Amino acid sequence: MKNKLAISIILIIWYFLLKYHTPYWYYIIYPINLVVTFLHEFWHALWALLTWWSVNAIQINTDWSWFATTSWWVRSIVLMWGYIWSAILWNILLYIWLKKDKYSEKAIYVLAWLMIFTWIFWFNSIISSLILFFIAWIFILLAKKSDFDSFVLQFLWVVSLLYIMEDFNWWPSSDLSKFSDIFIFIPQTVWMYIWLIVVFVITVLNLKNIFKK
User: What pLDDT, on the 0 to 100 scale, is given for residue 146?
Assistant: 61
How far lies 190's CA from each of 2, 75, 161, 195, in Å? 38, 19, 21, 9
* Rg of the chain over all Cα atoms, to the nearest angstrom: 17
The model's pTM: 0.77
User: What pLDDT, on the 0 to 100 scale, is given for residue 20?
Assistant: 74
Distance of CA 3 to the CA centre of its chain: 25
Q: Are residues 39 and 89 in contact, defined by beta-carbon separation less than 8 angstroms? A: yes
User: What pLDDT, on the 0 to 100 scale, is given for residue 74?
Assistant: 60
Q: Are residues 127 and 57 in contact, defined by beta-carbon separation less than 8 angstroms? A: no
Mean pLDDT, contiguous 10-residue spans, the chain (213 residues): 68 74 75 80 81 79 70 65 79 80 83 89 83 89 73 74 70 66 75 84 86 70
User: What pLDDT, on the 0 to 100 scale, is given for residue 173?
Assistant: 60
Q: Are residues 36 and 155 in contact, defined by beta-carbon separation less than 8 angstroms? A: no
User: CA–CA separation, 100 vs 213, rounded Å?
Assistant: 15
Q: Are residues 163 and 32 in contact, defined by beta-carbon separation less than 8 angstroms? A: yes
User: CA–CA separation, 5 vs 34, rounded Å?
Assistant: 26
